[in-house]
Structure 1
Amino acid sequence: MTTSITPRALPTRPNPPRFGKKPALPKGRPSLVKLFEALATPHAVDRYLELVNPMVTVRDLRAKITKVERHTKDTVTLELRPTRQWKGFEAGQFVQIGVVVDGVRHTRCFSPANSVHRADGRLELTIKAHADGFVSRYLRENAEPGMIVDLAQANGVFKLPAERPEKILLLSGGSGITPVLSMLRTLVDEGHQGDITFLHYCDTINDVPHAEALREIAAKHPNVTLRIASTLPGGGGDLQGFFGTEHVDIAAPWFADAEAYLCGPPPMMNAIRAYYDERGLGDKLHTEEFQVAGSVAADTEEATGTIAFSSSNVQRENSGTSLLEEAESAGLSPDYGCRMGICFTCTAVKKTGCTKSLLTGELNDTADEPIQLCVSQAVGDVDIDI
């Protein structure tokens, strides 16, 4: 007699993952970073990591100062090693540097001076200590190797085009030397063969922090012409006095066919803009400046209404100053960077009300609109989400 046996079905098991391949996480499962952040509440994970090593971060971008040089009486040159979050920059752009002094974080904008092709990925900043510059004075007096600073990703539209122009005129004055020096260093690293003239204005040759570096570049590259103009008698420059037609004719007689890149103090920039506009060459001049040009005066005499900083449950009568100053006067400490409408650090949401741009005078009554506190003024009652 033959007995038929029906095999019992065995429970199925998922195929084991192949060697080197991680099994997929179930949908909705939080990442380890988010899990750690949830456990670390109310502080971010980086607040705990910085107690062990400030350069080990999950989200925060920072940099360690690895070298400090003081070439002139009022400048400091810093070499910075960024953390892994750094995405690089384009020659001419700026970054924000933050320092904490007496428990208060202060930030300012500075332009890297090095080539974007620097092999070790480090940044070089040359910072001039201005009388009213808290961060610049602090770094000039206190920066030393090993110091950790906050760093923001590079920003700004002042940069060379992807297709490099055949003829380039680089114009700078004072601390405006750094972004155009970065352009020059980048171009020579790329082996650019077109004509390049670097024309820099200073009080005396001793005030130029990168004079030797500029001379070395000009000596090694026949297509690079260097001219330094000193504005004080006996300043030691190749040219004397302030910007004028004769300077351009000597430094770059082909300037009308060149793309020009300019950064410097307002009087110099205004003179060069006027020179280019008079000759119908305004579209060939590209400028950068950390200063609000042609801004609208704040109306403090006819200010009305109440400013509500609703997230902080703080209210203040409108005094007519910028909303950043209003917030600070109310005892708040919103983040800010340049205070000139360039870096967008102080952007906050205007929930209701009308504001005026201190750059253009334009009124904005759109609700739930992001605005820049440093260049916006309340017009009547305004609610800001800070």
Structure 2
Amino acid sequence: MTITVQPTQPCRPAPGQHVSVSVRVNGVRHTRCYSPTLVGGASARCPDLRFTIGRHPEGTVSRHLYEHAEVGGVLELGPPAGEFVLPHPRPRRLLFIAAGSGLTPVLSMLTGLAAEGYDGSAVLVYYTRTPEHVPRRSELDALAELPNVEIVHAHTRSDAGLLRGRFDPAHLTAVAPWYADTPTYVCGPSELVDRVREVYADRGSGAMVKTEEFTLPTVALNPGDAGGEVSYAASGVVAANTGSTLLEQAEAAGLTPEHGCRMGICHSCTAVRLSGCTRDVRTGDVDSEPGRRIQVCVNAPVGDVVVEL
């Protein structure tokens, strides 16, 4: 679904940044991060924000918005945040690779480039199941009309696009043979992001890739992570360590720590680890420095841990 929001105070995220959106469901405040595009022109003091949100079966916020968002409704917005943004000065050539809802920050970048009169060349390779699964098609088609923007549709369940199937290095060879020397922005599921990173690393061009992903990779926790106890010092709650993330364990213990994206992007869930060791579920790295601020959504306790929550 796509919704347009009129901020009551100026909120101008840089193209590619995200904004936290909060709703109340059964009296509980829930927050998630979405990447908007600006509506109203580059010169507008307080532009509208347009969000495209994929509905997930277990998504509390996405399901609530899908079922209850209406004209005149009120949402709570946080300040713009995120480092998935374009550099200055702009490169003369840019490549974007996206899948599914990963389109949103990339679309923001492309519309931002168009608004500022970017005269370099930009190519987007966008993966969806079929043409019917392409959101905001009219905006993509309008961008494709620009002489320096190429939109390449790749469909995994249809032959209607220029490319067919999931991401493959041959796709880049076909539509962007110069990719290894070009700044490349990738957003989508972790499988896509990881595969693109591998392809560029094999070419010695890993530094060219900047990524953002909307799902956590599946990481097998070390069997030694579970065991011991997790103590939430500010709440006085102590629970057996199950090995899942600190956020998940805190929620299971009845706590409601502040959080947003749940994927380590927005940094709204940071808390001080007073003692013990934690593992970053994205990288597998462990750390035990007392007093360090960590993101509870992407860190799992290893044995006994005390965190200031």
- The TM-score normalised by the length of structure 2 is 0.89
Distance 2:73 2:171 in 1: 42
8 Å CA contact 2:181–2:205 kept in 1: the answer is no
CA contact (8 A) 2:260 2:269 kept: yes
Does structure 1 conserve the Cα–Cα contact (< 8 Å) formed by 2:224 and 2:303? no
Residue 249 of structure 1 deviates from its aligned partner by 3.8
SS of the aligned residue for 1:311 comes to coil
- Residue 377 (structure 1) shift: 2.7
In the alignment, which residue of structure 1 is the partner of 2:252? 329
Is 1:379 the equivalent of 2:309? no
Computed over aligned residues only, the root mean square deviation of the Cα atoms, in angstroms, reads 2.3
Amino acid across the alignment from 1:238: L
Tell me by how many angstroms 1:272 deviates: 2.4
The share of aligned pairs that are identical, in percent, is 40
User: CA offset at residue 275 of structure 1?
Assistant: 2.4
Residue in 2 aligned with 1:214? 140
1:279 aligned to 2:224?
no
Aligned length: 307
Q: Which residue of 1 aligns with 2:155?
A: 230
The residue aligned with 2:6 is 81
CA positional deviation for 1:297: 1.5
Q: 1:355 to 1:262 in 2, by over 3 A?
A: closer
Greater relative contact order: 1 or 2 (C-alpha under 8 angstroms, separation 6 or more)? 2
Worse-matched range after superposition: 161-170 or 357-366:
357-366
Gaps of 5+ in 2: none
For residues 333-354 of structure 1, what are the alpha-carbon distances to aligned partners after superposition, in whole Å with 9 as ceiling and x for unaligned?
A: 1111122222222212223333
1:340 and 2:263 matched: yes
User: How far off its partner does 1:265 sit?
Assistant: 2.1
TM-score normalized by the length of structure 1: 0.73
Matched-pair contact (CA < 8 Å) for 1:228–1:239: yes
Kindly indicate whether the alpha-carbon contact (under 8 Å) linking 2:226 and 2:301 is maintained by their aligned counterparts in 1.
no
In structure 2, relative to structure 1, the CA distance for the partners of 1:286 and 1:302 (3 Å cut) is: closer
For residue 244 of structure 2, give the secondary structure of its aligned residue in structure 1.
coil
Distance in 2 of aligned mates of 1:97 and 1:281: 35
1:369 and 2:295 are equivalent in the alignment: no
Identify unmatched segments of 5+ residues in structure 1.
1-75
Aligned to 2:215: 291
> Tell me, what secondary structure is at the counterpart of 2:6?
strand
Range with greater deviation from structure 2 (133-142 or 176-185): 133-142
Residues 308-317 or 173-182, more deviating: 308-317
Seen in structure 2, the aligned counterparts of structure 1 residues 168 and 78 have a Cα distance that, compared at 3 Å, is same
**2:173 counterpart of 1:244:** no
Q: Cα distance, 1:295 vs. partner? A: 4.2
Q: CA deviation at 1:308?
A: 2.5
Give 1:117 shift.
2.4
**Cα pair distance change 1:301/1:198, threshold 3 Å:** closer
Note if 1:144 corresponds to 2:70.
yes
Inter-CA distance 218–355: structure 2 relative to 1 (3 Å threshold): closer
**Could you tell which deviates more after superposition, 144-153 or 95-104?**
144-153
Residues 4-23 of structure 1 deviation map (CA, whole Å, 9 limit, x = unaligned): xxxxxxxxxxxxxxxxxxxx
